[in-house]
Amino acid sequence: MNDLLIRIDKQNKVIGFETKEKCHYCPGILHRAFSIFIFNAKNELLLQKRSSKKLLWPEVWSNSCCSHPKNDEDLILTASKRLNEELGFSCKLKYLGSLYYQANFKNFGCEHEITHIYSGKYEGIVKPNSDEVIQTKWIKLDDLQKEITENPESFTPWLKLILKKYGKNNFFSSG
């Protein structure tokens, strides 16, 4: 059951479970996810460039960490574990809210999620898991917005949507 994604309705109520592959092939099955935004003391966001092994949006910049919760675990616990698995560190996470979205990738894949958004602060060494991440960088949100405007295809759709919805005031007021 841990390898199955949590199927939900638009009110975020669990309606079943499905394989990751079936959830991510067009037209997509609505499922639960999480997205983590980690900032340093200079209020720079940690970005990751997704691995070339990813089915959807490979070698594209995204937020610090994102994945899918496990059915038998608390959402924030799963998010914390995944942060450590992908980037080699953990920190306190604060829940900011959620976002419903659907985005297509090429002619075969898609995301159809309600993603739960967390933020955290971290100072220290980042040790990316090479199966998940090919590069990381810290960036000011104003500089990131400029890069997104100049090269929107270089960034995941959920990163752009979350930044638009939450903006830097909400991230930085989250502590």
66 is catalytic: yes
Size of the chain, expressed as the number of residues it contains = 175
**Spatial contact of 56 and 132, defined as CB atoms under 8 Å apart:** no
Sign of the CA dihedral with 110 first, then 37, 85, and 81 last? negative
Distance between CA atoms of residues 61 and 134, nearest Å = 10
Query: CB within 8 A of 120, min separation 6: which ones?
Result: 36, 37, 38, 39, 83, 91, 92, 93, 94
Burial 15-31 (b: 16+ CB within 10 A, else e): eeebeeeebbbeebbbb
86 is catalytic: no
Q: From the candidates 66, 86, 110, 111, give the one annotated as an active-site residue.
A: 66
The two tokens of residue 50 are: 């997704």
Name the residue with tokens 């967390």.
118
Catalytic sites, residue numbers: 66, 113
